[in-house]
Structure 1
Amino acid sequence: MGKALQRALGGLAGGGLLVAVVLLASWLWPLSAAQERRLAALEAPRALPGSNAYVTLASLGVEGPLAQRQARVDEHTRQFETWYADRYVPGFIRGDAEDKAGTPPRLPGEDTPSPAVDTVLCGFGGAAGCLDAVRSQPQAVAAALAPHATLLAHMDELALHGHYHSPLTQAAATPWPDMRQLTVPLSAHALAHVQGDSARALAGLCRDAGSGRMLMAQGDNLLTTMTGSAMLAANAKMFAAVLAELPLDAPLPASCGKAFLPLSADEASVCNGMRGEFAMQRGLAALMDQKIEHGQRYTRLFYSSGKTLARQAETLGQSCLPETRQAIAEDRKLPVPSVAASAWWQPQCLTNAIGCIVGDIARPAYQGYAHRQQDMAAQLRLLQAALWLRGQAVQGTAAPLAERLGNLPAGLRSAHRPITLSADGMALETPAYGKDRQMLRIPLPQAVSGQ
């Protein structure tokens, strides 16, 4: 009996020692080479070109000169940072941030909200049919645009900036400028064309396409990146629709050449947006560490901020790698990042179950952004091809359209997604990479498609 008990106790001790060794090994388990590489790519410094668009976007519908609006935005930044440090962080540590921290200070103008975007106005998703929609009810569109006069007046100011960077600490409660307002000018441009002022419509479309391009390529978070991409795509589609209705000799504003240039590999990447996402995840990890140190140290058995960030970097950092950039440059469809689903027995998850579970839940949300950006690049290639064919028609080229299409400049060709003529001969098409999208399409000027 005594010997049996000794053996049982010895077995328990041995089992306990084994568990301790396994847990220690999990704690000391090093980051993989892939994780370290992606972490370095996400944290690489980058230069920000030009001036910051944050003040303009944060006060897009607010009246007053820039200096006055700048002062209001600066005061809001100060108030928010004080609120965040004094109320949100303690509330997060206690676990009652949502209940006791209260509402964060509002952005300028939110105390007297800007006019809602009327449903009669076109959204980014409806840009291709916006001309017809506005043409069917121009008076209703004009009435819906009237309350947005201040916003429309500030779009020239937005076009002068070179990047977007929020000065606010990024957290779940951080206020964002209302990006939905950026859809309003589309209807103003469509109305100008419908009313006969096509030159103003083209100038506005090219100006706003440039702003969208800036937000997409030089933003500091994923929301800004994808909003800028949608803004660029919408203005490009309507620009093509307006151009299709104009004679071949209609002059184009100089700004159009730069706004609609084919995207570089860096512009067509979501790297900067993912860097912003990672910065927010790093901030959340820092808050979790504070929470653990203030009374929930047992959580260390199930959570490691370093391992959690490394695992998140596996997903977010793929877009910043040189091989991804090369694939974008060659227009090869990017693979969906393959990160093995976590399991409790994996070494990196034994002492980071919380981080592994949270990372696995969040990962699917990031799938698809890279393909949408690749489609944006393809959309601009279609537009440039249409402009090139327009130029050929102006020069009186007599070759059949299909033959001219085969002679596109090298910069507009893709070995993986060739540009083809639509079945009706009225548009250019190329396959889409994005989910649930079959073909990308840009209409041709009537004089081009009719030859």
Structure 2
Amino acid sequence: MLFAFLAAAAMFLLARQQGRSAERQGLVKMMELPAEVEGENAFAAVWLLGYDVPAGRIEAAAADDVQRFERNVAALEGDETVENFASGASTDYPVLVPKGGRDDAWCDFDQDCLAHVRRHREPLAGQEARLQAMHAQVAALAEYGYYRNAFPPRVDAPFPAHLASVPRAALTWAALQYDRGDVEAGLDAVCEVASAWRPLVANSDSLVVSMVAERVHDGASRLFAAMLARDRRAAITDSCRVAFAAPDVGEASVCEAMKGEFRLVSGHLMTDGSLGGEPLPWHAFFTYDAEASRGRLARFHARACDEHASRRLSQDEAFTRAPLADGFETECVANVLGCILTSIAAPAYDDYHRRGQDHLMRMRLMATLLWLRSSESDPLPLEARLALRPAALRSPGRELQPGGDGRTLGFRLYSNRGPATWQVPVSQ
């Protein structure tokens, strides 16, 4: 009996030591340390998108909201949460976005925006000032270099109320200019949208903001390609050369976004003495280890930041499933509850890595369009011309795929959240 007890105790201590290893704690430190980035924080400008706040008041208005939210948090009791928190700008300044968050006449990111605007010319006719104002807000984001959420990492922390609506309005404004015959203004406008959101994909500590930035860049890319395909004589402006320049591999990384997600999840679930705000009973010591759980969570989230990720990005190899054990894990003997909780969410993040890779491939395709545009007089077929493009526009893992009629160009997507391919028209 004594031998069995000692053996069980030894197994428990071994398991606990494994869960708290120096390697795991190193991962925790890595995930808690934001990267050094250049430029200014876009938090205030993103938080107040859709509110007609004077430029000189944006930072102060956002700071007021953060302080008010923190006061609300301090006043909470037990497991209460802050509900229905809204910016003070909603009462202090005009709201540019209509009630309900959007207008059906505005473009979605994944549709033919030019065709949509043509069908909705009448309802858009009276919205020029509003659309232009929201486009100006989006274009102003190019002045910043990154996004760091100023709200505390809590599940009840608010998101920008008009995070996706305002970029839709900005794309609609660009398409409207083009539809009216001002080709250069339309091209400039859509390239300003792409330039503003492109850095926020990799340089955001919010997974939500990062993925919205990826979707906005997707929508801007589709619209820009459609404009080029419809007007072979359109001159490519400097703003568009910047917006769709050949990308760096680092632009595909979701490391900073996953760091923010780690801080959010670990702060809510893995606090000493409690779980999700609820005190733990004394016997939970044998089934739950906060420190080991944070380390285990970091193990999954750090997949976006480690050398493995760098290799996959540089080689454009599709990210595989999170490294969950198929069978028994020794560390879980001393952390059964922590293992269960951290294993539930891990597979849900897999597709975000692949979306980052698809974003990089899309930028390569768009840079290729500009390169093809510079050599349109080349008599070779599209496929032969693609074979001559610079190495910076190529992927080691995927090829660009011309359509059978030579009128489209696309690639196979790694993400499984939608269509199998991404493609845009090519001018003939």
Q: TM-score, normalised by structure 1?
A: 0.85
Displacement after TM superposition at 1:55 (Å): 1.1
The CA distance in 2 between the partners of 1:38 and 1:443, in whole Å, is: 44
Displacement after TM superposition at 1:342 (Å): 7.0
| SS in structure 2 of the partner of residue 441 of structure 1 | strand
The CA distance in 1 between the partners of 2:53 and 2:87, in whole Å, is: 15
1 or 2, which has the higher helix percentage?
1
Q: In structure 2, which of residues 7, 11, 31 is the aligned counterpart of residue 22 of structure 1?
A: 11
Q: In structure 1, which of residues 435, 438, 443 is the aligned counterpart of residue 420 of structure 2?
A: 438
Decide which moves more: 357-366 or 258-267.
258-267
Structure 1 residue 177 and structure 2 residue 164: aligned?
A: no
Q: In structure 2, which of residues 78, 91, 94 is the aligned counterpart of residue 91 of structure 1?
A: 78
Aligned partner of 2:408 in structure 1 is 427
Displacement after TM superposition at 1:57 (Å): 1.4
Aligned partner of 1:392 in structure 2 is 375
Structure 1 residue 136 and structure 2 residue 123: aligned?
A: no
- The answer to whether the 8 A contact 1:80-1:104 is kept is no
The CA distance in 2 between the partners of 1:259 and 1:382, in whole Å, is: 13
**Structure 2: which 5+ runs fail to align?**
none
Alignment of 1:287-326 (within 5 A): 287-289=271-273, 296-326=281-311
Structure 1 residue 335 and structure 2 residue 323: aligned?
A: no
| SS in structure 2 of the partner of residue 428 of structure 1 | strand
Structure 1 residue 109 and structure 2 residue 89: aligned?
A: yes
The CA distance in 1 between the partners of 2:30 and 2:247, in whole Å, is: 21
Structure 1 pair 105–350 and aligned structure 2 pair: CA distance change class (3 A): same
Aligned partner of 1:161 in structure 2 is 144
Structure 1 residue 78 and structure 2 residue 67: aligned?
A: yes
Aligned partner of 2:221 in structure 1 is 236
* Larger of the two Rg values belongs to structure: 1
- The answer to whether the 8 A contact 1:331-1:417 is kept is yes
Aligned partner of 2:399 in structure 1 is 418
C-alpha offsets along residues 346-389 of structure 1, whole Å, 9 cap, x if unaligned?
A: 33112222211111111121011111111111112112222211
Structure 1 pair 316–145 and aligned structure 2 pair: CA distance change class (3 A): farther
- The answer to whether the 8 A contact 2:34-2:259 is kept is no
Structure 1 pair 372–38 and aligned structure 2 pair: CA distance change class (3 A): same
Aligned partner of 1:276 in structure 2 is 260
AA matched with 2:242: K
Identity %: 26
The CA distance in 2 between the partners of 1:408 and 1:370, in whole Å, is: 27
| SS in structure 1 of the partner of residue 288 of structure 2 | coil
| SS in structure 2 of the partner of residue 29 of structure 1 | helix
The CA distance in 2 between the partners of 1:66 and 1:316, in whole Å, is: 36
Aligned partner of 1:369 in structure 2 is 352
- The answer to whether the 8 A contact 2:401-2:410 is kept is yes
- The answer to whether the 8 A contact 1:118-1:144 is kept is no
Structure 1 residue 355 and structure 2 residue 335: aligned?
A: no
Displacement after TM superposition at 1:400 (Å): 3.4
Displacement after TM superposition at 1:82 (Å): 1.9
C-alpha offsets along residues 115-166 of structure 1, whole Å, 9 cap, x if unaligned?
A: 220123112222xx11111112211234466655543332232221111111
Structure 1 pair 428–32 and aligned structure 2 pair: CA distance change class (3 A): farther
The CA distance in 2 between the partners of 1:29 and 1:407, in whole Å, is: 52
- The answer to whether the 8 A contact 2:300-2:346 is kept is yes
The CA distance in 2 between the partners of 1:342 and 1:84, in whole Å, is: 41
AA matched with 1:48: V
The CA distance in 1 between the partners of 2:254 and 2:222, in whole Å, is: 21
Displacement after TM superposition at 1:110 (Å): 3.9
The CA distance in 2 between the partners of 1:131 and 1:235, in whole Å, is: 12
- The answer to whether the 8 A contact 2:131-2:170 is kept is no
AA matched with 2:237: P
The CA distance in 2 between the partners of 1:411 and 1:146, in whole Å, is: 40
Structure 1 residue 255 and structure 2 residue 236: aligned?
A: no
Structure 1 pair 259–34 and aligned structure 2 pair: CA distance change class (3 A): farther
**Structure 1: which 5+ runs fail to align?**
1-10
The CA distance in 2 between the partners of 1:143 and 1:365, in whole Å, is: 43
- The answer to whether the 8 A contact 1:134-1:187 is kept is yes
Root-mean-square deviation (CA), in Å?
A: 2.5
Displacement after TM superposition at 1:40 (Å): 4.9
- The answer to whether the 8 A contact 1:342-1:356 is kept is no
The CA distance in 2 between the partners of 1:354 and 1:160, in whole Å, is: 45
